[in-house]
Structure 1
Amino acid sequence: MDSAERPLRIPPEMVIYAEKHDIFHLIQTLVRNLMVDKPDDPIQYLINFLERDNVDVPRIILLGPPASGKRTVAKKLCEHTQAIHITFSDILKDDSDLTRAAQSYYDKKQNVPKDLWIQLIQQHLSKPDCVQRGWVLEAIPKTQDEALCLQEAGITPDHVVMLEAPDVVLIERSSGKRIDPVTGDVYHVTFMWPESEEVARRLETPRTLMPVQVMSQKLQKYHTEAHALKRTYHNCLKIINADQPHVDVFSQVLNFICTPRHSPSPYTPRILLFGPPGAGKSLQAKLIAQKYGIINICCGELLKAVSADESHMGELIKPYLESEQQVPSSIVLRVLTERLSRMDCTARGWVLHGFPRDVEEAELLHKSNFTPNRVFFLEITDDIAIERLALRAVDPVTGEW
């Protein structure tokens, strides 16, 4: 901006509106989905996207070693969130040229090329049910290279869960695994036997039940990649101990999934401190301002500063201060509005104490569009407050209590 021009001032109501409706996150979501789905008609795509009942659908990756309980957790998670459960086997069931090409590599016991692998996942995730309801990727990706390929393709999860358990426990679980051929649900002869006798009667031993040596090799291979996967997804990762009852494991997973991630949206603190005299409002405001780099505004000190500058507003305030009368709310609000509208408060945020003094002033502050996003009430007993006030002293040089 030209230095000769008036400085840019962002109206407070714009900031409040953006925070209230999470505009930054909405724009971020729209751009991310545009880049992932690459629609031929971006405008119509955005219109359809915004007309959905739920813009924020689950985007979850569930990782873990063999026999850690991924399948059980993933199925329950999808039942709870209505998201689509996706394994690589599910992806290969799609009837497309890509899946047939991938299957040919599997038939030859060869690795699927990365480009083909990522195209398969993109094709599956672009299905209407995945777009509208979200997805849970089970055991995808398996390596850091695959994770980086997903990131490059714009497939970024909101939550990544990694299950962990001692190898001894996992090997024991593997040997006792049983499968329900009707539902595909996984059970265990010791740790998770079905309550229904009908289900118990039809359980089968998996055809691919691994000998201990093979299981140990698979665990070793998993551990070599797990650390790199943790680094790749460190900003959205939750590691959960799978060596506990499956009900507790799922409860912890669900709690993590239901907890909103920290938003990268610009955030401007607007803090109000309330409390009786002697509660320590001034001290706490000073400490908060120092820690978070925001503006400390004491209403009383602000009124004194304005009354000393010989302005028209100062002349209005001075008689009230000299006679130790309460300054009218309308005058105080005009002074506060001017101060809170300055660039430092708009850009960095503020912590205010000494106003509002009653409900009517609180309503006036709210109507002025300077709505706080954090309000703290400091409580103290009358005896302690009186003791503090009786022992209070003033530094004549700095004016500090």
Structure 2
Amino acid sequence: MSDSESETPHNNRSITLSAKQFAEFMRLNVSQKTSNHQPSSLESIGEVRLTDKLNGDNYHLWVKLMRRAIGGKGLASHISGVTDPPPPTDPHFDRWQQRDDCCFNWIISNIDASLVNEPSRLCRLPSLRITSSSSPFSNSNTDQDALLTFKNAINLESDSMLNKNWSTNASICSWTGVSCSLDHQRVTALNFSGFLLHGTISPHLGNLTFLQSLDLSSNNFTGSIPSELYNIQRLKTLNLSSNQLVGGLPSGIFTNMSVLVEINLRFNNLSGELPSDICSNTPKLKRLLLSGNKIVGKIPKSIWKCVEMEDLRISSNKITANIPTEIGNLTKLTFLSMFSNHLEGEIPSSVFNISSLEIVYLSDNILSSSVPIFNSLTRLQLLYLDSNYLTGGIPKEIGYLTSLQHLKLNKNNLTE
């Protein structure tokens, strides 16, 4: 049952269950290989009858079996949230809706009647609504539940704005820090920058499937970045900078969130290495800001796949090895900051073939060899290469940098 947006809600059918993160679990685990398989006819689909129905005590096993069963029927796309439902005008819509009905009925028929009929038992399970693709916009209560759980993970003073303003008697779209879509009243943006909040980031934010912008910067959030955030397939801007977050650099951000334009995790205590396939699944990424952490390892050569990259900042970490020549393929790059790492070897000449460059910080590394020749950097305004091990003379081409305002070459082994 996809949350993907279609033109019009086809009907108002939805199931409200309190099954622990069922829909999002399905999204993360349904294999793409299975979802590409489609049964040849509706008659060939058959039924899904699990040996054990969901009874409140067997959630994890039940989800695995249900996921496998629906995927095996070739209908994984109806629960993965990857494929958008067709509009009603599509000639294949009736066929799609029949298949969606099958998935809907399979889920219902494999839930023990006693669990559905006893709300008190449902309430003991972590809350999440499961909504059919045919009603992708009826889940605003899920958004409210996710926000309230987020609030409960924060240590708030009694006079806090969130305590005063976040009333369940009012629309969540009127709550401080929350923005919604005008047509469907789903949460599309959260902005709590500079609220000085203390606490952890609730994994239930991953249930805000229509969220496009998440800004929790300049607070005092601790703990790790919850993996459930990777479920937010519409997210374009993620800003968790200037907190006290720890743990490994979350690779799922780079592999599961294909529409991201900005990732800002600066000034935390994140560790680990940059993913080797860092740009393989983020083709729209323009700003990658990771400065001021404890990232180790080398810069992956796959960085060149972020062809839209304009701003790359990975300074003040513990990154080693050479600067890959592939960075020269980032032809839209304007801001490059890699100072205060352990980068070594030559500065690739390809870097200074990027005509869009305006700011370059490579100070305080172990870079050696000569200062590279500059070609056509008419926009370059700032060039810091100080505190390295550069040798040789200063190339006369620096005099051709007509926009240059700040130049640092001190603390090297340069000759006149």
Do the structures match in fold with TM over 0.5?
A: no
Q: Which fold has the larger relative contact order, with Cα–Cα distance below 8 Å and residues 6 or more apart in sequence? A: 1
Higher strand share: 2
Bigger CA radius of gyration: 1
Compare the two structures and name the one with the higher helix fraction.
1
TM-score (norm 2): 0.24
TM-score, normalization: structure 1?
Answer: 0.25
